[in-house]
């Protein structure tokens, strides 16, 4: 089995061949105390510097935390850090994993933007005290890798989808695939408004994905359509303005998503998912929504 797959031609296995992996049942979140838009590192942040309503941001964050607790995910929270306004997007600093023997491991990220690099050690500390074995990428060989912003688990399977082009290098996936001994289907991202894979691909369950097609190459779309039986497509408006694809479906049944994604939400309901709408308006100003405001952990 090839480790990093970048073309449909090289897809030499089917999902049934991939070993199962337990779903994570805990979630890590970072308090939004110091969240704000202080700089511009993605197109969504443009014109939003200084515009975050702190009180609203706190309320929105608490609503997401409650929505996760309601679907029986145990929440762990970490303090935010002054001067690290994006640390609240805690999907980005790490990629956690559990192996067949139940050993918990994590790759720490190499953040693309200078402004976010100092977030990583704070997140690492949490994994360390929780008993995770910590892996690092070689910074002399790999430029960047932004954790679960770009590396997304295929629900219940020992397989990853890996986005590259803006915040993560395809080279990172080779090292991760070898260390965790799993295949990674790598997808090139081609629209800077969709700079992380979690802005344009949401794995809903083992058979179903929600995507924004305009963010991918033809080859990427071929790969997605080859693996998933059912692909729901978000419109440009719902994907770009409302971050529909940055939803999360931690249990393969309940989808927590930015409110107002009318077409996506009706497609989700038609496909049998339970939809929980939340407001992430303050975080959209920073180019993030539900998926990246939490990290699923074992």
Catalytic positions, written as ranges: 196, 292
The Cα 190–Cα 220 span in angstroms is 10
- Residues near ligand ARG (CB under 6 A) are 41-42, 45, 86, 89, 91-92, 116, 149, 196, 198-199, 286-288, 292
The Cα 28–Cα 24 span in angstroms is 11
The Cα 85–Cα 106 span in angstroms is 23
Please state the closest distance from residue 203 (CB atom) to ligand ARG, in A: 14
CB nearer ligand ARG, residue 73 or residue 91: 91
Q: Tell me the three state secondary structure of residue 26.
A: strand
Q: Count the Cβ atoms, other than its own, within 10 Å of residue 178.
A: 11
Please state the closest distance from residue 286 (CB atom) to ligand ARG, in A: 4
CB nearer ligand ARG, residue 86 or residue 124: 86
Please state the closest distance from residue 25 (CB atom) to ligand ARG, in A: 21
Which secondary structure element, helix H or strand E, spans residue 65, and what is its range? helix 54-70
Please state the closest distance from residue 19 (CB atom) to ligand ARG, in A: 27
Calculate the alpha carbon distances from 210 to 58, 198, 206, 234, 283 in Å: 28, 10, 12, 7, 20
CB nearer ligand ARG, residue 18 or residue 111: 111
Q: Mind spelling out the 3-state secondary structure of 112-160?
A: CCHHHCCHHHHHHHHHHHCCCEEECCCCCCCCCECHHHCEEECCCECCE
CB nearer ligand ARG, residue 126 or residue 194: 194
Which secondary structure element, helix H or strand E, spans residue 264, and what is its range? helix 262-270
The Cα 29–Cα 17 span in angstroms is 33
Please state the closest distance from residue 63 (CB atom) to ligand ARG, in A: 18
CB nearer ligand ARG, residue 18 or residue 84: 84
CB nearer ligand ARG, residue 42 or residue 155: 42
The Cα 30–Cα 291 span in angstroms is 13
The Cα 12–Cα 183 span in angstroms is 11
- CA-wise closest residue to 154 among 132, 189, 185, 187: 185
Please state the closest distance from residue 32 (CB atom) to ligand ARG, in A: 13
């Amino acid at each position: 089995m090839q480790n990093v797959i970048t073309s449909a031609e090289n897809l030499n296995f089917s999902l049934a061949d991939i070993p199962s992996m337990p779903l994570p049942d805990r979630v890590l979140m970072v308090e939004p105390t110091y969240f704000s838009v202080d700089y511009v590192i993605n197109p969504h942040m443009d014109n939003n510097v200084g515009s975050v309503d702190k009180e609203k941001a706190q309320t929105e964050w608490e609503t997401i935390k409650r929505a996760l607790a309601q679907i029986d995910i145990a929440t762990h929270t970490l303090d935010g850090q002054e001067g690290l306004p994006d640390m609240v997007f805690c999907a980005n600093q790490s990629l956690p994993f559990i192996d067949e023997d139940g050993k918990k491991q994590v790759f720490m990220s190499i953040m693309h933007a200078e402004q976010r690099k100092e977030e990583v050690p704070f997140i690492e500390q949490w994994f360390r005290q929780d008993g995770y074995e910590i892996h690092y990428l070689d910074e002399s060989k790999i430029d960047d890798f932004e954790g679960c912003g770009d590396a997304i688990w295929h629900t219940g399977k020992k397989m990853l989808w890996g986005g590259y082009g803006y915040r993560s290098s395809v080279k990172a996936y080779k090292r991760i695939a070898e260390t965790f001994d799993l295949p990674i289907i790598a997808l090139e991202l081609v629209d800077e408004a969709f700079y992380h894979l979690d802005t344009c691909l949401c794995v809903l369950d083992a058979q179903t994905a929600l995507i924004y097609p305009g963010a991918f190459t033809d080859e990427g779309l071929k790969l997605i359509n080859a693996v998933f039986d059912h692909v729901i497509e978000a419109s440009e408006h719902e994907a770009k303005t409302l971050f529909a694809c940055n939803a999360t479906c931690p249990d393969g049944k309940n989808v927590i998503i930015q409110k107002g994604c009318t077409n996506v939400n009706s497609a989700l309901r038609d496909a049998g998912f339970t939809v929980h709408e939340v407001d992430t308006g303050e975080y959209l100003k920073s180019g993030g929504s539900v998926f990246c405001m939490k990290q699923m952990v074992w």
